[in-house]
Structure 1
Amino acid sequence: GAGASGIIAARQLKAAGIDVTILEARDDAIGGRLHKVCIAEFPPGSGRFVEVGGNWIEGLGNEAEVNPVYSLAWKHDLHFQPTDFHDVTYRSNKGAVDQAGFKKRFDEFNKMAESLEEMAEKREQLNLVDISLRAAYRMAGWYPQDEMDDSIEWNSFDYEQAESPDVSSFWKTSDIKTFKHYGDGSDFVMDQRGYQHILEAEAKSFGCGYGSECLQLGKVVTEIQWNFVQVHCKDGSVYKADYVVSSVSLGVLQNKDLKFTPPLPDWKIQAIHSFHMATYTKIFVAFPSKFWTDQTQWVWYGSERRGEYANWQVLDAKPFKKHFGGKHVLLCTVTGEIAHRVERQSDEKTLRELMVVLRNMYGPSVPDASAILVSRWHSDPLFRGSYTNWPIGMLIEEFDNLIAPVKRLWFTGEHTSMEYFGYVHGAILAGNRTGNDLVACI
């Protein structure tokens, strides 16, 4: 695959003088889950493209340990803009509310979250078993009381991990290593070449760019024979090799889209199905005119159902305004079961639901939207989800089995990064590790 892990693994192998062929299922672009909308402009006629996949360089500010995505972004002149996730206005289903009360409760949640680091250290010293993040929240004194509390919690955790605290590991998600190691900053990618540009440029730099013999587009892999390596594609082509590196997502591994011959051993299958593939769905909505009065980068909504249309990024706010050229665009994000429902239903139904929410927030004069665009990673057979989350009680041995090769079949991807699963830099570091390990093996 030609996502972040696949490209970087190929780079390491090529650097060691090893002959590499990259098989990419898409027929028009590399980048994997870094993917701009190529089929249409958004809003239509604007001349602007939007990212339906990864959008941020997350974990910035630590000069002693630089995020590898940041290094690639500077190397290939990617355009991005610092963002402030605390620049928020809260609105309920009755419209504007007292922001002082919201800020007070938001501060209380953040103080509780900061206290979890000490709790985690004590539990590790005592060698206690993992618990859910929900249990840890309660032990630290956090009990959501109303829709505002639910919104604060969802936007502070689910919006990042794409699953709820109820199913997430306290051990692996309470102290997200990305921000601890690389810094608290996050930059929003706003480049008309797309976030995928860093992978396109990197592939070109080692001879596997568009048009090269070592990059084969439109190759949907249907079967991998791993005793004596043969890779079969949907178009009937067959590739023989000494080794094969699978960089398909955890979601693809968990489905029947890809056949392994012989079948993978039970220990590998158990590990694959023990981790979670989460879904993070982006809904871009354009309007003929601006109706919101908030000057913040985000507006959070207190919905009756936790996480239902609770996060709105204002893409004509000052940091993003230049990119969208005065177009009036909001980006709403949903995760989990709500994301699955939104993917299944029509865009027209989703838009009707969104308009009810917006008119609850801003009143009946909100104009009808002029366009909508919904990402659908969960239902895409090339991905089957957005990124990995670490469930409760998972053992290190299970993770070791997840990343372990099976004879001549190797595995890489963001799901094979123990510290940075779910992140672009996790995918890059995993690809780097897999490539180097395979070079050493060869």
Structure 2
Amino acid sequence: MTTTKTIPSVIILGAGVSGIFAAKALKEAGINDVTVLEGRADVIGGRLHKAEFPPGSGRYVEIGGNWIEGLGNKGDENPVMPLAQKYNMVYTATDFTNTTYRGQDGSSDQTIFKERLEVFTNMFDSVCTIAEERTKKDLLDVSLRTAYRIAGWNPDNELDNSIEWNSFDYEQAETPDVSSFEYTADLKTFTNFGEDSDFIADQRGYQHIVEEEAKALGLGYGSDRLLLNKVVTEIVWAEGTSATDSAMSLQLDLPIEKQSRVTVKCKDGSSYTADYVICSFSLGVLQNHDVKFTPTLPSWKLQAINQFHMATYTKIFIAFPHKFWPDETEFIWYGADRRGEYSNWHNLEAKAYKPYFPHDHVLLCTVTDQVAFRIERQSDKATQKEMMAVLRNMYGQDIPEPIAILVPRWNHDPLFRGTFSN
């Protein structure tokens, strides 16, 4: 007797990278009855998201993901790179060591800066070696701050704070104090794929990759299987089942009639039912209980969701009528009085980027963690005033007022509640 296998129906929640590539994996497994619900009203791509800047210029910057990190190492290729090449994305190499340091008084003694940077770099190399040894011995994890202290690094001035913040927080979006020694001392992306990174400068936006992959799956804009402006409020399993039951039935490949149906309810009053639901919400959304699960998720899953940190990484763009800063390096590190406050300025007038921003005089300043949270809560006008105070410390009182500023607010966006997990 031949048994006909029923193809299950699946709803994917979220049309970012995770959601669209989940759809791709399902299609490769022969599952084509897939519908994607996206909370945004007009665009997919998740935190790959472009914005016009300066306003009215017709030119775009990335307010979310911006780099292909790790371009290949020992034969291993970052899976993002073939996609960028497939769609002829425009990108340029970033040299994070091409940096000028400036103190609060505008001083720019690069000799002392390079000496202290070398001290930090050597310390960090030794910490990475220690982390590998501890992992092999299965020793109890500690904070990265603990490791720094053991290795003799104790920052006590603005220069050291700037070096530490730019060397760690700028990548991880949180401090060494709350970060795992074992998992952040030696970042796996760069270990696996190399230390080089490419900056996406494509005017179609980094999101173009996701849009094209979705289109190839029949999930492009206008498709009846991609539903926009669907903000999920509740996910309901059939009575007497749980998240664990549904997940196990999928893993064990049980017949469809033995599986429970799942209903997704949306803010606009609509609801959708399928055999399975894949939830690609950010960790921040799950931690903020923006979506109700009925019945509730099991305790082990709630613990896993809540034990991680959802960090905030905010890229502030500020444009001027002309270039006034003399520095030609790709980055300018600032010795802030308060650690991490406007400590990294990405010079989009530098040689590597100027071909892609030919008519703009733009600086990109990155803030993270508590500074980012504070800035999200205040007005753009207040943020601009603070940034100008820093720039005048570095370059004098006669610099021009900006013509535009762009301050993303990922932490306050109910569809994200942050940028990425530490």
Asked if these proteins are the same fold (TM beyond 0.5), I'd say yes
Given the alignment, which residue of 53, 57, 60 partners 2:71?
Answer: 60
Code of the aligned partner of 2:115: K
Superposed CA RMSD: 1.0
Secondary structure of 2:213's counterpart equals helix
Matched, 1:260 2:293: yes
Map residues 120-131 of structure 1 onto 2, 5 A cutoff.
Answer: 120-131=131-142
Given the alignment, which residue of 11, 33, 54 partners 2:47?
Answer: 33
Matched, 1:15 2:31: no
Matched, 1:269 2:282: no
Given the alignment, which residue of 157, 180, 184 partners 1:146?
Answer: 157
**1:47: Cα distance to partner?**
1.9
Q: Distance in 2 between matches of 1:6 and 1:45?
A: 32
Q: Distance in 2 between matches of 1:196 and 1:53?
A: 10
Match of 2:81 in 1: 70
**1:212: Cα distance to partner?**
1.4
Code of the aligned partner of 1:96: S
Code of the aligned partner of 1:217: L
**1:63: Cα distance to partner?**
5.4
Percent identity (aligned): 63
The question of whether the paired residues in 2 share the 8 Å contact of 1:162 and 1:279 is answered with yes
Q: Distance in 1 between matches of 2:365 and 2:146?
A: 28
Larger Rg: 2
Code of the aligned partner of 1:123: R
Q: Distance in 2 between matches of 1:2 and 1:371?
A: 30
Q: Deviations over 1:193-238 (max 9, x none)?
A: 1000001011111211111122111111111113430001111111
The question of whether the paired residues in 1 share the 8 Å contact of 2:100 and 2:108 is answered with no
Q: Distance in 2 between matches of 1:278 and 1:237?
A: 32
Q: Distance in 1 between matches of 2:48 and 2:232?
A: 20
Match of 2:273 in 1: 240
Code of the aligned partner of 1:92: G
Q: Distance in 1 between matches of 2:318 and 2:167?
A: 23
Q: Which stretch shifts more, 344-353 or 227-236?
A: 227-236
**1:143: Cα distance to partner?**
1.3
Match of 1:417 in 2: none
1:259 to 1:337, Cα distance in 2 relative to 1, 3 A: same
Match of 1:186 in 2: 197
**1:301: Cα distance to partner?**
0.2
Map residues 378-397 of structure 1 onto 2, 5 A cutoff.
Answer: 378-389=411-422
Q: Distance in 1 between matches of 2:115 and 2:299?
A: 50
Q: Distance in 2 between matches of 1:36 and 1:314?
A: 18
Q: Deviations over 1:237-265 (max 9, x none)?
A: 11110000000000000012111111112
Match of 1:79 in 2: 90
Match of 1:301 in 2: 334
Secondary structure of 1:120's counterpart equals helix
Structure 2, unmatched stretches of 5+, are 1-13, 239-260
Q: Distance in 1 between matches of 2:136 and 2:299?
A: 33
Secondary structure of 2:318's counterpart equals strand
Given the alignment, which residue of 212, 219, 233 partners 1:222?
Answer: 233
**1:17: Cα distance to partner?**
2.6
Q: Distance in 2 between matches of 1:110 and 1:12?
A: 40
Code of the aligned partner of 1:148: L
The question of whether the paired residues in 2 share the 8 Å contact of 1:316 and 1:326 is answered with no
Map residues 99-138 of structure 1 onto 2, 5 A cutoff.
Answer: 99-138=110-149
**1:121: Cα distance to partner?**
2.1
Q: Deviations over 1:113-137 (max 9, x none)?
A: 1112220122123321000000101
Code of the aligned partner of 1:350: T
Q: Distance in 2 between matches of 1:203 and 1:36?
A: 17
Matched, 1:353 2:386: yes
Q: Distance in 2 between matches of 1:162 and 1:284?
A: 18
Structure 2 length-normalised TM = 0.90
Matched, 1:334 2:367: yes
Match of 2:242 in 1: none
Secondary structure of 2:302's counterpart equals helix
Structure 1, unmatched stretches of 5+, are 390-442
Q: Deviations over 1:70-115 (max 9, x none)?
A: 1111111111110000000000110022101101111111111111
Matched, 1:368 2:412: no
Match of 1:433 in 2: none
Code of the aligned partner of 1:124: T
Q: Distance in 2 between matches of 1:200 and 1:63?
A: 31
Q: Which stretch shifts more, 156-165 or 261-270?
A: 261-270
**1:175: Cα distance to partner?**
0.2
Q: Distance in 1 between matches of 2:162 and 2:330?
A: 16
**1:15: Cα distance to partner?**
2.4
Q: Distance in 1 between matches of 2:395 and 2:106?
A: 6
Secondary structure of 1:136's counterpart equals helix
Match of 1:168 in 2: 179
Match of 1:418 in 2: none
Structure 1 length-normalised TM = 0.86
Given the alignment, which residue of 84, 94, 109 partners 1:98?
Answer: 109
Match of 2:317 in 1: 284
**1:366: Cα distance to partner?**
1.2
Map residues 204-223 of structure 1 onto 2, 5 A cutoff.
Answer: 204-223=215-234
The question of whether the paired residues in 2 share the 8 Å contact of 1:284 and 1:373 is answered with yes
- Deviation >6 Å, runs of 4+: none
